[in-house]
Structure 1
Amino acid sequence: MPIREVAIRTVGDLSREVRALAPIEQKWLFRGQTDACWNLAPSVHRGYTAQQERYLTNEFRVRARSRHYSCPSSDDYPGWLALMQHYGLPTRLLDWTYSPLTAAFFSVHPDYVPRLQGPGRDACIWALDGRKLNESQGFEPLIFPLDASSYEPLIVPAFKNRDELNSVGVAMAIEHDPRIQLQQGAFTIHSSRTPINRIEGADEWLRRWIVRNADIPAFFEELTTLGIRKFTLFPDLSALTSELKSIHRPGKPCP
């Protein structure tokens, strides 16, 4: 069956759809994307080969210690993968959040629209029943931390030439950084190159809400009015600077 899709225009619409998820106590996860046409696939599966992935992860491990004061131990592969994801290296992790408002923020904020993205695109917010996805992939219907032993077969092939499990798991993020806590983060771990939304039976645990292109500016303004802003989700000076520049724009230059 096709994945259930609903168009939303306001934060109130989003709230209505979240309340309609049944049962909400199953800990649904959310992800915002600035283009509704994108699949649910991690960055390292967008053009990189398996060998390139291992080059990326292992060179990062070799060179990170001279640049970062608190690196994971050599065999802490989940810790390394989370650190790489945090600093923007392409990995097999895909970011999710327990907060639908945070997901909405990332779907409509103009800072996250790629430069080459064409005009007229719609944004979207995905909702994922993580427990059902885990169960469909042969895991327990629970969400464990990223460093749980059951997820090791999904993670190790990112670093070593090992057979892939060819499945996807949902994991809690380990709060090693205030940003993860504020964004209420979680991950899907992709040992399979099939996007989540194309897995057979995805309609059982996925929902999608579309924000039409014409509604994006008003939706973004509503989130801003409600206090969902970059500096509240990114507790660092770069986010504060970006936020202040967007609020206080220069006047017209002198002739």
Structure 2
Amino acid sequence: MQTKEIKSLVEFIRESDSLGPFSDLVLFRGQAKQGNLLPGVARKNPKRDTTKEERQILQQLALQGASLLNGAGETELDRLIYAQHYGLKTRLLDWTSNPLAALWFACSDRCEGDVYVYSMEADDLLEKDVYSKDPFVIAKTRVIQPRMNNQRITAQSGWFTLHRYSKTSSSFVALDKNPQARKYLSEYRVPAKFRLSIIHSLDRHGVNASTLFPDIGGLCAHLNWRHRLAL
């Protein structure tokens, strides 16, 4: 997987526009660290099979959060997606169909240093009938399209990869180490010294905390940043 250096928003747009001339679905992910494209539940210890605990957590979420899950959907996958956006560790990894959103998530991370954006030509990985299946027993790691039933998913043009625990390797396998997925990935590195100028360019084009998190929290985060109050 080749790594390309990004120094400006214009440069990134040029690169993202050149992707997938024969692909209908290209997804993007921005993050502070290089590689290790694993979902939250597997990042600390990918060898651990968390399936039993994940099922128990979802059951407790449905019981304890019954009054909070209005509009989340009826299936286990619906609840996984909904809870993912509120911080629950799941076997979902966030992606977006908006390359500028991914670039913002990478450059706005509080970690210092270079940051990374990944693109994935996802047509061959898309699971179209996923809501009728048990998300914990899928045969392969797959791309899934969420229902647009909350403002954050809609604002962020959200997609996900749904990761399986591989019995063969006794682990969750990172996408960048998965031979079936790796060939569809590209990597972009943003050097630390260009991050701030890119964030300002993105804001000028309407990509910021208030547009990606369309609630009072997102607005407050944006105002803190805009008026130089953010730490």
1:79 partner letter: D
Partner of 1:137: none
Matches within 5 A, 1:54-93: 54-73=55-74, 76-93=75-92
Distance 1:126 1:63 in 2: 36
Distance 1:201 1:61 in 2: 34
Per-residue deviation, 1:19: 2.0
1:5 partner letter: T
Cα contact 1:145–1:174 (8 A) shared by 2:
no
Distance 2:40 2:161 in 1: 12
1:212 equivalent in alignment to 2:210: no
Per the alignment, in what secondary structure is the counterpart of residue 60 of structure 1?
Answer: helix
Bigger drift between 193-202 and 93-102 goes to: 193-202
1:103 partner letter: A
Distance 2:32 2:129 in 1: 27
Matches within 5 A, 1:139-218: 142=126, 144=128, 146-147=130-131, 149=132, 152-153=133-134, 155=135, 157=136, 164-165=137-138, 167-192=140-165, 193-218=172-197
Partner of 1:227: 206
1:129 equivalent in alignment to 2:121: yes
Per the alignment, in what secondary structure is the counterpart of residue 179 of structure 2?
Answer: coil
Partner of 1:10: 8
**CA deviation string 1:5-64 (max 9, x = no partner):** 10111111111111221325421000010222x411000112364133233222212211
Per the alignment, in what secondary structure is the counterpart of residue 227 of structure 1?
Answer: coil
Partner of 1:253: none
**CA deviation string 1:140-162 (max 9, x = no partner):** xx552652x3xx24x1x3xxxxx
Per-residue deviation, 1:190: 0.3
**Gap change, CA 1:182 and 1:145, over 3 Å in 2:** farther
Per the alignment, in what secondary structure is the counterpart of residue 26 of structure 1?
Answer: coil
Partner of 2:169: none
Structure 1: any 5+ residue segments left out of the alignment?
135-141, 158-163, 251-255
**Gap change, CA 1:145 and 1:237, over 3 Å in 2:** farther
RMSD (CA atoms)? 2.1
Distance 2:60 2:178 in 1: 32
What percentage of residue pairs aligned between the two structures are identical?
27
Per-residue deviation, 1:200: 1.7
Taking structure 2 as the reference length, the TM-score comes to 0.86
Distance 1:77 1:191 in 2: 15
**CA deviation string 1:52-95 (max 9, x = no partner):** 3233222212211144444543xx11111111112110001111
State how many pairs are aligned.
Answer: 219
**Which of 36, 41, 46 pairs up with 1:44?**
41
Structure 2: any 5+ residue segments left out of the alignment?
166-171
Taking structure 1 as the reference length, the TM-score comes to 0.78
2:31 partner letter: Q
Cα contact 1:146–1:174 (8 A) shared by 2:
no
